[in-house]
Amino acid sequence: MRIYTRTGDRGETGLFGGGRVAKDHPRVEAYGTVDELNSVLGQALLHVRDASSGRRLARIQHDLFALGAVLASPAPAAGRTRPELPDLPLERIEEMEGWMDEAEEELPALRSFILPGGSEGGAALHVCRTICRRAERRAARLREDGDEEESVVRYLNRLSDLFFVLARLENLRADTPDVVWEKPIGEAQE
C-alpha cells in the first residue's frame, strides 16, 4: 500500500466517515494540533526520567489518538452514519486528577508563577502543555460552532494541567529547581 494518495494535492483532505474539507478547516486544525501534541509527547518521553510519569504519559498517547479520531469525524450529514470511533476514555479525566493530587503531595507549594524550563524532561512537558492548550482552543472553537462534544475540551483542559504538574514533578525528581518568574524592576540589571 502506498502512503501517498495524491487526493490532497489541491488543498483538501478527507474526514473520517466521509466528506472533504480544506486543509485549513477548523476541524483539521483541531485534530492536527492533537496529532502534533502526540508527536511532541513521544519526543518528551525520551527525556522524562520518572518511570511512573512515563507509563502514565504513554497511556495518554493512546488517548490522544482516539481523541484525534473523534475530532476527525464530524457529526454525520443527512443520509450518513458516523463511523465507529475508538472510545475516548472519559474516566481518564478523573484518573488524571488523582495523578495530579498524588504529585502535589510531593511538590512544594506553588507560591509564584513558573516559567517553562528546568530539567530536560520538565522543559519538554512544558512544551506539551502549551501545545495542549492550543489543541484545547481549537476544540473549543468547534464546540462553539456546535460541532464537538464538551468531553473533548474537558479532557484537553485537564491534560494541560497534568503536563504542568508532571513538569514540576520531573524537575523535583531531577533535583532541578523550577524556573520562577521574577517581576521586572525598572531597567534591566546586569
Please count the other Cβ atoms lying within 10 Å of the Cβ belonging to residue 25.
16
Spelled out in words, what is the top-level CATH class assigned to the domain 21-74+86-178?
Answer: mainly alpha
Q: Which long-range contacts (CB under 8 A, 24 or more apart) does 1-6 make?
A: none
Give burial (CB, 10 Å; 0-12/13-18/19+) of 159: buried
Q: What secondary structure letter does DSSP report for 14?
A: E
The phi and psi torsions of 13 (rounded to 5 degrees) equal: -140, 155
In the block, cell 522543559 appears at 123
Q: What is the mean pLDDT of residues 111-138?
A: 95
Amino acid making up residue 58: A
Closest alpha carbon to 129 in 179, 171, 164, 177 = 164
Amino acid making up residue 28: V
Q: What is the mean pLDDT of residues 141-168?
A: 87
In angstroms, rounded to a whole number, what is the distance separating the alpha carbons of residues 170 and 123? 9
Residue 116 has pLDDT above 80, yes or no: yes
Q: The whole model's pTM is what?
A: 0.86
Provide the pLDDT for residue 33. 95
pLDDT in tens, 17-55: 667 665 777 888 898 999 999 999 999 999 999 999 999
Residue 106 has pLDDT above 90, yes or no: yes
Residue 78 has pLDDT above 50, yes or no: no
Of residues 84 and 94, more confidence is placed in 94
Of residues 69 and 158, more confidence is placed in 158
